[in-house]
Amino acid sequence: MAKSLGQIHNVNFRAGPFTAINQKYNLDLPGELTSQLQRMVRAGTFHKVVGLNMTIERASSGAAPSIALSGRIRYYSPTRGRCEAFRSAFRSAAEVMKTQGVSMRDNKMYDFRAPLNDETTINTFQNRATLDGTNGLALNHGSVSGASIFGVHNEGVQPVSTTAAGSVFTSGFDTILQGSGGTDFVLNDALPFTGNPLNASTEYEEIPFTLANVPASSGIGYSGQTVEFEFRPDPALYIAVLCGQFQIVIDEFEPALPSTTDCALEVSVQVAGWKSIMGSPDKKRSSKKTMKSSKKN
């Protein structure tokens, strides 16, 4: 029997208009859910996404009659290092605000919010956190190192293995079977990882998609056909999205004439809930059995 995920929230976006390749659009789940539910949904969470649907349509009446595009949906999963990086940035912001007499807790409208990156998008990320009043923070800021949550965090994370790739594995003792200069039992030596789970990787998780819309009046083959995108994890599972942030990236666009073609994407994201990342992962919780036994004693 499939495990129950509870109530599902449907979050809708109209992304666009898109006119060319490499355009980007941010999907801000906590921001949209805050408006939808009329209560603060914090960005310091990971969102449990159980489904995502997209369709394409013309954004203006003057657009070309047939449209097709492909792209990627980028996001970060909540690893130990990424969550610790977000908590560290939050603490820094709280301390800076405190020195200026500002309390986070007293303003119910404030939340510490940061997009995936600082890349140019066709929409604005609202209420973005900043520490200097000029540069907005981002999980992965590519142009201002001091505004990158992952970058600043990784500067203080030392890798466990600092040896060269060729020195990771050794050949051990000289024996009768193997003299000096023997094998290390590994070919094509390389460092598989830094060896430190607190490292916040900046590599995106990506979901590729393809969409098309050919109206019946287009006069070309496959008239009246549409290609929609539907993403579903296993029915009993979900994908965990750090801070509830997605980013749509357009890779291919047809027809490739920005002056005469534009389109919009109707996006629906199904969210089965969210969970805070602000607590310590090493904090042990007392189980109900332990609490009952302690009461008896």
The radius of gyration computed from the CA coordinates of the chain, to the nearest angstrom, equals: 24
Is residue 179 in a domain? no
- 0.85 cut: is pTM over it? no
Is residue 119 in a domain? yes
Q: Report pLDDT for 282.
A: 72
Is residue 186 in a domain? no
Is residue 86 in a domain? yes
Nearest partner of 79 among 168, 157, 174, judged by Cα: 157
Is residue 50 in a domain? yes
Q: Report pLDDT for 1.
A: 40
Is residue 201 in a domain? yes
CB 113 within 8 A of CB 90: no
Q: Report pLDDT for 288.
A: 57
CB 210 within 8 A of CB 220: no
Both tokens assigned to 214? 């050919």
Can you give the residue range of the structural domain that contains 204? 9-160+191-282
Write out the chain's pLDDT in tens, 297 residues. 455 556 899 999 999 898 889 999 999 999 999 999 999 999 999 999 999 999 998 777 655 567 888 999 999 999 999 999 999 999 999 999 999 998 888 888 999 999 999 999 999 999 999 999 999 999 999 989 899 999 999 988 876 555 565 566 666 666 666 666 677 777 777 777 666 788 899 999 999 999 988 766 554 444 557 889 999 998 888 999 999 999 999 999 876 555 556 789 999 999 999 999 998 777 766 555 555 555 555
Nearest partner of 24 among 209, 174, 248, 193, judged by Cα: 248
Residues 295, 70: Cα–Cα separation, whole Å: 60
Q: Report pLDDT for 51.
A: 95
Total residue length of the chain: 297
Is residue 185 in a domain? no
Q: Which long-range contacts (CB under 8 A, 24 or more apart) does 255-261 make?
A: 255/64, 255/66, 255/67, 256/20, 256/21, 257/64, 258/19, 258/20, 260/62, 260/63, 260/64, 261/19, 261/63, 261/64, 261/67
The secondary structure of residue 286, as a DSSP letter, is: P
Q: Report pLDDT for 290.
A: 54
Is residue 291 in a domain? no
Helix (H, G, I), strand (E, B) or coil at 274: strand
Residue 209's φ and ψ, nearest 5 degrees, are: -150, 160
Tally of structural domains, the chain? 1
